[in-house]
Structure 1
Amino acid sequence: MTTHSGSMEVVDATRDLATPCEDAPPGQAVGSAPRLIDVETPRRLSDRAYDYIVSNIANGNYPPDSRVVEREVAEALGTSNVPVREAMERLEQEGWIKRIPRKGARVIRMDLESVRMLCQVREILECGIVRIVAENHTEQQIAVLRASVERMERAFEEIDSDAYFEADSAFHRDLARFTGNPRLATIHGTIYRQFCMAIPKFMFEAVNKTSTRKRKLEHIEPVRHRAILEAVEQGNVPLAEQRMRMHLGGSYRMAKALEDFQRALTEVMD
């Protein structure tokens, strides 16, 4: 319906909404809503590319300073270069890779300063995470965390670095998940993976083999994880935060010891 007011024409916008669609595709009822097509959007493809590259960095297939070739990733995933390029933009923003014009992308090598900054971010995030979980948790969640701590303790005694870091990752990941805040868990996951990339697993084995039994009982990471868990289970927020802060400080000291070891080894080799 169209009405006129002076020189102004007013169109009834509801007319077309009530009019059946005469150009409906075959098999679709006239006037019905269009069918939704389940397609993999470019955004979802870029997420796949992101996860693929991060996983290969974390497991050592893309070691520090190695090239990440856009075309090769696209071929591995069976997609075009566009979503891979989008994933690389995100990876560069998050500090995983460095893209250099006409030279491609390379995995960033983490130095001690990078580890220090990651530890700062982890402290802010994980002290907040442990506070939330200490204030509000279930018995089932505590049981899940306890199982991870027990796996860490067994792995440490058996000098099984793969099992140890898998259990360690589960402990921190589940703590973040138990906050009930998916965005917080996602941000934490990114920072945690970057940190793990900077701490070679052989450092774990070196610390284990050279530690005395007394040092193991007082200072090793499984003991710190159990102490964090006990404070969380008790609902003791200040103690949980304090123990998490001590744990993360130990991680930075481990990274510094690793750098000192590598420097000494280089001097000997020279």
Structure 2
Amino acid sequence: MEQIIRFDTKSRIAYGMIKNAIADGRYLPGEKIGISQIARELSTSDIPVREAMQRLEAEGLLEYTPHVGFRVTRPDFGHYVQMFEVRQLLESEAAKRAATRISASALAELKRLHSEMAVAMQEGAMQAFSQLNRQFHAVLFEASDNPVLVREIEHVGSIYPRTHAIFVMFPQRTQSAMREHAVIIRCLERRDAAAAKRAYLAHMAAGYRMLLKYRGETTGQTWPAGTNDPAVVPGGYDDVIG
């Protein structure tokens, strides 16, 4: 029994490590992930790592090919569209609520993370930038003071955790993201809930359009057939804060 529990714990650790690495862009789409390499990093056997990878395969983050091994799956843009629509609803509502509920300490933490992201951007440390970006959004969501909403956001994020890896794939996205974060912070400082929601929607739309541009360059298709573009912010980004 003790050995089973130990394997289960190591499998969960491996699962979390690999999933976070995919989310942060340390493992990019199409990249092979070796079981033995992860096992060495965690000082464990191959068995719990293989179990973790099989779980990630079931979630659609990894794919297994005989005689090749596990690779990070490439984005399914049709699925991403659906996830984006759900994220828009949940995350923009969290930003709206945060504007009237955020504490002084949480606002200070957002500013601190924003400053650290600026340093990471200047140093070209994209993985660090991605990790800080995840923390920035987590603090913002927590400031909504709605644990149920935060839990649903985390659940959706766990299904498709690649979002923050955009900065590793597209380093040029960092400068515009920093400007968008600055606008969000100003909206929070002003306690302007409507503007905070618009600013957050604009932030999401900008990142989404970057992915669409990438899709167009690599496949010649700018939009999945049969869908509508959800990445539209009425009035445009310049009208976010008036």
What SS does structure 2 have at the residue aligned with 1:235? coil
Rate the CA distance shift 1:159–1:136 in 2: closer, same or farther, 3 A: same
Aligned to 2:211: 255
Aligned to 2:171: 204
Aligned to 1:245: 201
Aligned length: 214
Rate the CA distance shift 1:147–1:74 in 2: closer, same or farther, 3 A: closer
| Residue 131 (1) aligns with residue 96 (2) | yes
| Residue 194 (1) aligns with residue 150 (2) | no
User: Per-residue CA shift, 1:20-39, capped at 9, x if unaligned?
Assistant: xxxxxxxxxxxxxxxxx9x9
Gaps of 5+ in 1: 1-36, 209-215, 265-270
2:24 and 2:130 in contact (8 A); partners too: no
What SS does structure 2 have at the residue aligned with 1:106? strand
Distance apart, 1:49 and its partner CA: 0.7
Distance apart, 1:244 and its partner CA: 0.8
| Residue 65 (1) aligns with residue 33 (2) | no
2:36 and 2:46 in contact (8 A); partners too: yes
Rate the CA distance shift 1:161–1:114 in 2: closer, same or farther, 3 A: farther
What SS does structure 1 have at the residue aligned with 2:64? strand
Rate the CA distance shift 1:177–1:108 in 2: closer, same or farther, 3 A: same
What SS does structure 1 have at the residue aligned with 2:30? coil
| Residue 229 (1) aligns with residue 185 (2) | yes
Aligned to 2:230: none
Percent of residue pairs bearing the same amino acid type: 26
1:177 and 1:185 in contact (8 A); partners too: no
Rate the CA distance shift 1:79–1:201 in 2: closer, same or farther, 3 A: closer
User: Given the two structures, how large is their TM-score scaled by the length of structure 2?
Assistant: 0.68
Where do residues 93-108 of structure 1 align in structure 2 (5 Å cutoff)?
93-100=58-65, 104-108=69-73
Rate the CA distance shift 1:111–1:159 in 2: closer, same or farther, 3 A: farther
Rate the CA distance shift 1:166–1:48 in 2: closer, same or farther, 3 A: closer
Higher relative CO (Cα under 8 Å, sequence separation at least 6) belongs to: 2
Tell me the amino acid that sits aligned with residue 209 of structure 2: R
**RMSD value over aligned CA atoms?**
3.6
What SS does structure 2 have at the residue aligned with 1:98? strand
Structure 1 distance, partners of 2:55, 2:100, is 34
Structure 2 distance, partners of 1:255, 1:121, is 17
Structure 2 distance, partners of 1:66, 1:155, is 24
1:112 and 1:255 in contact (8 A); partners too: no
Aligned to 2:227: none
Structure 1 distance, partners of 2:55, 2:218, is 31
Distance apart, 1:189 and its partner CA: 5.2
2:94 and 2:144 in contact (8 A); partners too: yes
Distance apart, 1:221 and its partner CA: 2.3
Radius of gyration: which is bigger?
A: 1
Distance apart, 1:151 and its partner CA: 4.1
Structure 2 distance, partners of 1:119, 1:228, is 19
Distance apart, 1:98 and its partner CA: 1.8
Gaps of 5+ in 2: 221-242
Distance apart, 1:227 and its partner CA: 1.8
Structure 2 distance, partners of 1:95, 1:255, is 19
Structure 2 distance, partners of 1:246, 1:153, is 20
